[in-house]
Chains A and B, each alone.
Chain A
Amino acid sequence: MSAPASRQRWLVPIQPLFPLMIIGVLGVTMRWGVKKYQEYENWGKPKRWSVDRWDRRMMERDSRLTGNVNFQRAEVEAPKEFLTNSAWEVERPFM
């Protein structure tokens, strides 16, 4: 009564690495997905990180010049609306 001997399938034993490879693929897909979603939110560009007060005020000026924080323009003169617009929200009094 001899039990069938278990044999390894391949010469180099890579079978224990399969779970690690699956985890690796899932991790890479997750990071790629997050990056793509952030680019979708920021109109095709990577998200700005480490934004300090200077960058925030420059981005507010960008939004006043072009309508959106992510759009850039390199014209000589500003549009006429730039002289009087602002980024302050106008709130309806409710209390």
Chain B
Amino acid sequence: MTTHREGVFVEGLWVEKEGLSSDVAPPVPEVGCTSAPLESMSFHFASYCKAYSEDYMLCKNESQDPRHCLKEGRKVTRCALDLIRKLKENCDKEWTRHWECLDVNNHQLFQCRKEEREFNDCVFKKLGLTKTIPDTPEGQTPIHLKEKPLYK
């Protein structure tokens, strides 16, 4: 039934009895970041974990079955955990300022360019990652590097 009505006499939320059993998949801790920190580090994650996420996407293209791509998914999760650990050690303050700014501004990246520039500078200095927007046409500065984005 796909009527999707709200629950009427609600007694809490559903909790699974056990998670995924260990003989199906070795346990990997899940990423503990919510949406704003993830959004601000998304481009750095793309350049840091490019190989693993491309593997995962190619695997997903083969079939939509969740059991098919568990291994590649675990690799992506471990890479993301590694990147978050490095960001927290090196660039914690700039990262926090950027995602707190995003949180107040409806998670829109264009409202927080100043904090984003400081965060990108810190990440480039400490970890060597740059933010690239894929599919920018040649000869056009990317939108996050333009000094006056509202001008032509």
Contact = CB atoms under 8 A, between A and B. Distances in A.
Interface of A: 45-46, 48-50, 55, 58-59, 61-62, 65-66, 71-79, 82-92, 94
Contacts of A55: 35, 107
B24 interface: no
A8 to B, nearest CB: 45
22 contacts: A49-B106, A58-B35, A72-B34, A72-B35, A72-B36, A72-B37, A74-B34, A75-B32, A76-B31, A77-B31, A79-B32, A82-B32, A83-B20, A84-B15, A84-B17, A85-B13, A85-B15, A86-B13, A89-B6, A89-B13, A90-B13, A92-B10
A13 to B, nearest CB: 40
A74 B96 CA distance: 8
A85 B32 CA distance: 14
Contacts of B31: 76-78
Nearest to B92: A74
B32 A90 contact: no
**Contact residue range for chain B?**
35 or more
Contact of B32 (A46, A76, A86, A92): A76
Interface of B: 6-20, 29-37, 81, 84-85, 88, 95-96, 99, 103-107
Nearest to B102: A72
Contacts of B34: 58, 61-62, 65-66, 71-74
Contacts of A94: 8-9
